[in-house]
Amino acid sequence: MRHCPVPNRRAMEQRRLKRAVAPLLLVVSLALLLGGGGAGAQSDRITIRADRVLAPVSPLLFGQNYGPWVNTTPAYVDAYSALGVTLLRAPGGNYGDENDLYPNNVADLAALAKMLHAQVSLPARSWRAGTPEKAADPVRSATVERGYG
């Protein structure tokens, strides 16, 4: 496994803040673009009130892609916990589109999910897997053979 340095906690917090603020900036930008602003245009105002909860956010929103490349050393597990990871998607990203999951990958995923008290999203992909049976193998391994689900 390739060694990766432990992420800087401040840098992780800054990235998390940027991800939280980005949708607000998009809304404000769209409002300014669509609001006109010409002579006689109605004055539009957007007020952001960070102290008010408008709706609950699903804890499953705070997910992380998982695959054999993920470092599961204690320092990384602590970092994932600090980030509030509540869902592991496996296999994540293009790795999942191009590679198969094997029983040992599923076992490693289950161990990490248990350490993080996280849920797991294990899609049955078939568009590159070749057959529905091959696509279902990791799901069957996790739920039927190993009893994870």
Model confidence pLDDT, tens digit, residues 37-64: 555 556 678 888 888 888 888 877 788 8
Q: Is residue 61 part of a domain?
A: yes
Task: For residue 12, give the amino acid letter.
Answer: M
Position 113 in a domain: yes
- Asked if 22 and 76 sit in the same domain, the reply is no
Number of domains in the chain: 2
Helix (H) or strand (E) holding 32: helix 9-34
In this structure, the answer to whether residues 50 and 73 fall within a common structural domain is no
Tell whether 43 and 28 lie within a shared domain.
Answer: yes
Percent of the chain with pLDDT over 70: 74
pLDDT tens for each residue of 79-125: 888 988 888 888 777 777 777 777 788 888 888 889 999 988 877 66
Please indicate, yes or no, if residue 39 is contained in any of the structural domains: yes
Residue 24 to residues 31, 36, 135, 142, Cα–Cα distance (Å): 11, 19, 38, 39
Kindly state whether residue 141 falls inside one of the protein's structural domains.
yes
51 and 112 fall within a common domain: no
Same domain for 136 and 126, yes or no, is yes
What's the chain's length in residues? Answer: 149
Domain span holding position 49: 7-55
Residues 35, 107: one domain? no
Query: Which pLDDT belongs to residue 137?
Result: 78
Same domain, 71 and 96: yes
Is 1 inside any structural domain? Answer: no
Question: Is residue 21 located within the same domain as residue 87?
Answer: no
pTM: 0.57
**Residues in contact with 27: Cβ distance below 8 Å, sequence separation at least 6, in sequence order:** 46
Asked whether residue 76 is domain-assigned, the answer is: yes
